[in-house]
Amino acid sequence: MVLYGAEIQCELVAKAEMIIQRVVLNSRPGKNGVPVAENFRLEQSTIPDTVQEGQVRVKTLYLSVDPYMRCGMNEDTGSDYLQPWQLSEVADGGGVGVVEESKHHNLAKGDFVTSFTWPWQTAAILNGDLLQKLVPQLVNGRLSYFLGAAGITGLTALLGIREKGHVAVGANQTMVVSGAAGACGSLAGQIGRLEGCSRVVGIAGTDEKCSILVQEMGFDAAINYKKGDVAKQLRELCPGGVDVYFDNVGGHISDTVISQMNQNSHIILCGQISQYNKDVPYPPPLPPDIEKIQKEKNITRERFLVLNYMDKQEESVLQLCQWIQEGKLKVRETVVEGLANIGAAFQSMMNGGNIGKQIVSVSK
Section 253-281 average pLDDT: 78
- pLDDT grade, residue 283 (50/70/90)? confident
Residue 280 confidence (pLDDT) above 70:
no
What percent of the chain has pLDDT above 90?
80
Q: Is residue 122 scored above 50 in pLDDT?
A: yes
Alpha helices in the chain (DSSP H): 2-15, 69-72, 152-160, 183-195, 207-215, 230-237, 251-258, 288-296, 313-325, 342-350
What are the tens digits of pLDDT across the range 169-198?
A: 999 999 999 999 999 999 999 999 999 999
pLDDT at 273 over 60: no
Tell whether the model's pLDDT for residue 281 goes beyond 80: no
Nearest to 119 by CA among 131, 135, 133: 131
Structure pTM?
0.89
H-run or E-run covering 306: none
The answer for residues whose C-beta is within 8 angstroms of residue 137's C-beta and 6 or more apart is: none
Q: What is the predicted pLDDT for the residue at 271? A: 66
Q: How are beta strands 357-361 and 242-247 bridged, if at all?
A: unpaired
Lowest mean pLDDT among 51-65, 135-149, 223-237, 278-292: 278-292
Q: What is the pLDDT of residue 77?
A: 80
pLDDT score, position 11: 45
Residue 79 has pLDDT above 80, yes or no: no
Q: What's the chain's length in residues?
A: 364
Mean pLDDT, residues 232-245: 97
More confident residue, 33 or 208: 208
Q: Where residue 363 falls among pLDDT bands split at 50, 70, 90? A: confident
Q: Is the per-residue pLDDT at 266 higher than 70? A: yes
The CA distance from 250 to 27, in Å, is: 26
For residues 27-37, average pLDDT: 90
Residue 108: what pLDDT? Answer: 98
Contact by Cβ (8 Å): 183, 245: no
- Across 13-17, 103-107, 311-315, which has the greatest mean pLDDT? 103-107
pLDDT band at 307 (very low <50, low <70, confident <90, very high): confident
- pLDDT band at 1, cuts 50/70/90? very low
User: What is the per-residue pLDDT across 193-234, written as a single tens digit (0 to 9) for each?
Assistant: 999 999 999 999 999 999 999 999 999 999 999 998 999 999
Amino acid 162: pLDDT:
95
Mean pLDDT of 271-287: 60
Q: Which pLDDT band, with edges at 50, 70 and 90, does 282 fall under?
A: low
Residue 228 pLDDT: 85
Mean pLDDT estimate for the chain:
91
Task: Please state the rounded mean pLDDT for residues 82-87.
Answer: 91
What confidence category does residue 272 fall into, taking pLDDT thresholds of 50, 70 and 90?
low
Q: Locate all alpha helices (DSSP H) within 82-220, ordered by sequence.
A: 152-160, 183-195, 207-215
Asked if pLDDT for residue 43 goes beyond 90, the answer is yes
C-alpha–C-alpha distance, residues 339 and 191, integer Å? 32
Between CA 122 and CA 194 the distance in angstroms is 38
